[in-house]
Amino acid sequence: MRVLLVEHDESIAEPLIDGLARYGIIADHVATGTAALAAPPHDLVLLDLGLPDIDGIELRRRLRRTADVPMIMMTAPGDEADRMLGLDLDAGDYLAEPFGVVELVDRMRAVGRRVRTAPADKPVRTAPADNPVRTYGPLAIDTRSRQIRLHGVPIQLAPKEYDLLVLLAADPGAVVDRQHILETVWEPDFLGPGKTLDFHVASLRRKLGDAGWIQNRRGVGFRLVIPA
């Protein structure tokens, strides 16, 4: 997949480009709405609402006039996210900061599935299979709102704890090696404290109320398992 990343902040754009590359996604970066309008067609557009030259929502409308390309809009918390509520999102979507690369890639894949399966003569709408709420026994993960519920009760997770849980939940039962977790949830070539991952796993286990949710394969990594 080749995507157009429209983001004015280099400190946000560069980690996103690197993170997407680890999933085989090529991101061509532009920093302004004007450059986005001049860019060649892409498979998908990642659009920052807070651009310096053109309002992000107005840019979305202009891009829609020239191509029916799926879009994911990236918004800051608060007013910008509220502005999205009045939009007909079609095949697009939006993410409110903070969000992780894992969640973004998951949303991009969902958008891609909707585009591929939509009838040609009908507007694209979110299909039931793309329900943002994923369930794992009594655990429910809402990837749209970044909310976690256990037995129907909301669980408050720190951003890294949420990203860690989503990564493990992407393939329940499969062991995810430590280095991949660090590079995905934190950053490539992570050089932080050696116990950072173990600390977050321990904290996540406490909040889930059962250490059995996250099993450790010593010297390898961790996996998500629904406790008996």
Cα distance between residue 140 and residue 215, in whole Å: 19
Cα distance between residue 151 and residue 197, in whole Å: 26
Tokens of 224: 């998500």
2-117 — its CATH code? 3.40.50.2300
pLDDT band at 101 (very low <50, low <70, confident <90, very high): confident
Encode pLDDT of 115-150 as tens digits. 554 444 444 333 334 567 888 899 999 887 888 999
Residue 20, class by beta-carbon neighbours within 10 Å (0-12 exposed, 13-18 middle, 19+ buried)?
buried
pLDDT score of 119? 46
Q: List the domain boundaries for the chain.
A: 2-117, 132-224
132-224 — its CATH code? 1.10.10.10
Please check whether the two domains, 2-117 and 132-224, share a CATH topology.
no
- Kindly report the pTM of this predicted structure: 0.51
